[in-house]
Every structure is written in structure tokens, then in C-alpha cells.
Amino acid sequence: MNVLESIQVALEGIWTNRLRSFLTMLGIIIGVAAVIAVVAIGQGSKSVILSEFEKIGSNLFVIYTRWEEGKPVRTWEDLTVRDAEVIQELVPEVHSMAPVSFSRTTVNRGDKSIMAQFYGTTNSYAEIRNLDLSRGRFFTGDDNKAGRGVVVIDSNLAEDLFGRRDPLGQQVMVLNQPMIVIGVVQITDSLIGMNDSRSIYLPINTMQKVFQTRYVHQLEGKAITKDTVDFAMEQGIRILERRHGKDFYQGVTLESDLEMVNTVMGILTLVISSIAGISLCVGGIGVMNIMLVSVTERTREIGLRKALGARRKDILFQFLIESVTICLIGGAIGFLLGIGLAVAIAVIAKWPPVFSWWPVILAIAFSSAVGIFFGLYPANKAAKLDPIDALRYE
């Protein structure tokens, strides 16, 4: 019996016992589907995260003060607006630098009062963060020096406050201080961004006056190139240490954040894939069980074939083919199910599904390996049957 005849016999046997065969394949189907879906989802989400990081800029870095228990309390003098100017002046690798102060309070217009996140900064911030202004402009250096009451709001907040009206030139109230809207930042769908954010950007001098604080939470910088990010950040930290005589400054780059995301996603993929691998092993045990049942049911057939001249390796090969065929069919169904699941999740999450060939090869190879490994014992048992004893079997 050649390979094609063995496959035909295997398919006939699977079709004859459809329900039993499907239940046998179920573990293989679930395992392969899980592996395919996890890999596809991981690749898709990684692609989206990478694109989102690139939108912000891979040469971005942030410097802040590191809090440690038992250490002196940080003061407003630890980071200042002047620090950002000095770093930009002294470090050629720094393209632009901006101080950033955060606060959260309500912004009011008429009877509307909405909680928003405030960012007090300089005009360099828009370039550093690649802010996309759909209307108006960002505030200038002159706006900051004069401490003008101007703000830039995001599109979500603009819609909440003004509806379909043009927000430019309109007045809003912040801590009982009037502010004029001069620009609108467009908020787009993002996996890692604040899609539902309500953000306001204003000159840092204005913010310090309105909020009555001189505290700067962090310095954000943009290096000349991606390759100089680490050096620019380290030089900035050294300048701060020399200026203030303290050593609690710390920096982080967007690349390090991306590496952390990749590490977390890699661990999650490994854990879920391991669970899928257990499912495949359970499915393989099911294949072994059903093949042992098949050997018992076809004992007389095996004896007859041996009596007609079938060799031991022919019987071994036939049952191995049947085992592998069951696993490959289960693997194919699992692959289609995994692709469908990955596409469905990608549609819900609003990211493009990303596929590669290696999961397909992995699914086929693993299914074949499971079929051979767990089918070898039943096949060998069938091949060892004595033809006389097999013919006498009832």
C-alpha cells in the first residue's frame, strides 16, 4: 500500500467515525488555533504600538527627579524652566527641550464644567511631541515670556465645550482666570494614546501664575537623531547634577519604553503559547487513545493483511499515516479558526491583522510531530501483532 492509498484509507476511517474523529481532533484544533491567534494578535498589536511610538518620535527622552523613601523631599528648585534652556544650549545633540508641569482641574465655559489635564510648557513641546493641530496655532515663545492667558485644547475637549462652534478666539475659565483658545490639537484613535483625553496646553509662565506654583515635573527633550538619544539624555542629567549639586535625576527614552512593552508582550505570548502547547499534548494523548481503539477494532484486518503478505513496516506506516492525517486535519481546522479569531479581535481593537508564514509552518510541523509521536506506539503495537492470533481475535 503506497502513501496515497494509506491516506485514502485514513480519510475513509475518519469519515466513517466522524464524531469520534472530531472529538479526537478537538485538542489539536484548540491548541493550534490558540498558537496562531496569539502570534497574529501579538504581531498586530506590536505593529500598532511601534507605529504609535514612531508618531511621537523615537528620539524622545524625559528627565525627572527620582523619589526614594527616606530621602529629602523634592522642591521646585530641583527642576526649573531655565534648566531646559541650559541643556539645549550646552548639548549639541539636543534638538529641542521643554519643561513640563502637570495639574488637573476643571475648565469652565458658561454652565459647562469639565475635568481636564493641564500641561504647562513652552512652544518647543508641540514639536517634541509631534502635536497635530487641526485649527489655529500653538503658543509662541513671546506668549510664554509675557505670560499671556492663551490655551490650546484637544479636539475632545473642544467638542465638549463648544460642540460644532469654532472654538478659536473663544474664552474659557480656569481657576476663575479667563483664557483664550488659540488652537486645537487633533486627537486620533490610538492604542497607547489617550483617545478619551481632555487636555489643555498653556504657557508654563501662565500656568505658574494661575496655579500659583513654580514646580516643574519633568523635562522633555528631542535628540537630533535616534542614535544620539541616550547620549543627549545622559548629558542632560549630568548638567542638572552639576547645576543643582544633586544626584537623584533619572531619564527614560521612548526606546526603553518600547523594549519594556516588547518584553511584557513576549512573556504573555510565551505563557499563552505554553497553555496552547499543553492543549496540543492533551490532544495528542487523545489521538493515541483513539488509535489504540482503532488497532483493537481492526485486529482481524491486520491479521488478514499480514497473511496476504503485508510486512511489519507496512502496518506501522499505515497507522502512522492515519495518526498524522487526523492531526493535520485538526491542525488545518485550528489554523483557520485561529486566523478567524485573530481577524475578529483585530477588527474589534481597530488594528490591521498581521500574519506571517512561520506560524503556518509551525502549525503543520507541530501537528505532524504530534501525530507521529503519539501514533508511534499504537502503530508499533499493530505491527507487532501475530497474524494467526490476529485472525483468531473476536
DSSP string of 170-182, one letter each residue? -EEEETTEEEEEE
Question: What length does the chain have?
Answer: 394
Q: Residue 178 — φ and ψ, nearest 5°? A: -75, 140
Burial 262-290 (b: 16+ CB within 10 A, else e): eeebeeebeebbeebeebbeebbebbbeb
364/29 Cα distance (integer angstroms): 12
Amino acid at the residue 350: K
Cβ within 8 Å of residue 359, ≥6 positions away? 35, 36, 39, 40
- What cell numbers appear for 259 in the block? 523594549
Q: How far is CA 54 from the centre of its chain?
A: 14
For the CA atoms of 380, 383, 385, 391, the dihedral, rounded to the nearest 10 degrees, stands at: 140
Hunting for cell 499563552 — which residue is that?
Answer: 272
151/169 Cα distance (integer angstroms): 10
Phi-psi region of 213 (alpha: psi -120 to 50; beta: other; left: phi over 0): beta
294/296 Cα distance (integer angstroms): 5
Domain coordinates in residue numbering, the chain: 3-52+259-392, 75-247
- What cell numbers appear for 337 in the block? 479558526
Q: Residue 305 — φ and ψ, nearest 5°? A: -65, -40
Phi-psi region of 245 (alpha: psi -120 to 50; beta: other; left: phi over 0): left
96/43 Cα distance (integer angstroms): 33
User: Residue 104 pairs with which residues in a beta bridge?
Assistant: 117
73/67 Cα distance (integer angstroms): 8
- What cell numbers appear for 318 in the block? 499505515
Residue range 169-207, pLDDT digits in tens: 999 999 999 999 999 998 865 544 445 678 999 999 999
Pair 219, 236: CB distance under 8 Å: yes
Pair 47, 374: CB distance under 8 Å: no
Predicted pLDDT of residue 82: 93
Give me the residues of the chain with pLDDT under 50, please.
191-194
Which of 222, 280, 276, 217 has the alpha carbon at shortest distance from 75?
217
Predicted pLDDT of residue 193: 47
**Helix, coil or strand: residue 95:** strand
